[in-house]
């Protein structure tokens, strides 16, 4: 049961990451509703540096965010399948998905919208139940 729960949780995060990545590069879903705002983002640099625009940073942040979810899933699913004993024998690998999920839940609740929050919450609950079962 623990393996199934971790697989479900990691798969949800991976799917969210892939959808987010696709939306970032292949749709206009992250453009502002007001086209003037998007144009301003493309024409303005952040105070930090003139080497990029706010728009390019925005795309980069969204892409790296997506890649983080994809990488997490790409690491945990094979670990789960091929070396479940590493997860079972390590408090770190047992609870890392829980902390990872909780971190994303906080971000989703504060900064994002309902769909990612619900998906991340389901994923985190799967990780938490699996961690509890592993430690019992």
In tens digits, the chain (136 residues) has pLDDT values of 999 999 999 999 999 999 999 999 999 999 999 999 999 999 999 999 999 999 999 999 999 999 999 999 999 999 999 999 999 999 999 999 999 999 999 999 999 989 999 999 999 999 999 999 999 9
Q: Which pLDDT score, from 0 to 100, does residue 30 have?
A: 92
Name the nearest CA neighbour of 67 among 127, 124, 14, 6: 14
Name the nearest CA neighbour of 58 among 34, 24, 26: 24
Cβ-proximal residues to 52 (8 Å cutoff; 6+ apart), any chain: 45, 46, 60
Q: Which pLDDT score, from 0 to 100, does residue 95 have?
A: 97
Q: Which pLDDT score, from 0 to 100, does residue 10 have?
A: 98
C-beta separation of 101 from 123 below 8 A: yes
Name the nearest CA neighbour of 130 among 11, 17, 8: 8
C-beta separation of 61 from 112 below 8 A: no
Hey, how many other C-beta atoms are within 10 angstroms of the C-beta on 84? 15
Query: Which residue do the tokens 């770190």 mark?
Result: 92
Q: Which pLDDT score, from 0 to 100, does residue 118 have?
A: 96
Q: Which pLDDT score, from 0 to 100, does residue 108 have?
A: 94
Name the nearest CA neighbour of 14 among 100, 83, 84, 92: 100
Q: Which pLDDT score, from 0 to 100, does residue 64 have?
A: 95
Q: Which pLDDT score, from 0 to 100, does residue 44 have?
A: 95
C-beta separation of 88 from 76 below 8 A: no
Cβ-proximal residues to 36 (8 Å cutoff; 6+ apart), any chain: none
Q: Which pLDDT score, from 0 to 100, does residue 69 have?
A: 96
């Amino acid at each position: 049961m623990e393996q199934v729960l971790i697989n479900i949780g990691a798969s949800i995060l991976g799917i969210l990451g892939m959808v987010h990545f696709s939306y970032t590069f292949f749709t206009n879903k992250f453009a502002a509703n007001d086209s003037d705002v998007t144009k301003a983002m493309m024409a303005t640099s952040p105070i930090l540096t003139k080497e990029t625009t706010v728009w390019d940073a925005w795309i980069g942040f969204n892409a790296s965010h997506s890649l983080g979810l994809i990488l997490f899933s790409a690491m945990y699913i094979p670990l789960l399948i091929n070396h479940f004993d590493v997860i079972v024998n390590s408090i770190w690998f047992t609870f890392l998905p829980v902390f990872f999920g909780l971190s994303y839940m906080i971000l989703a609740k504060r900064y994002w919208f309902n769909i990612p929050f619900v998906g991340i919450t389901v994923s985190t609950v799967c990780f938490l139940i699996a961690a509890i079962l592993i430690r019992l």
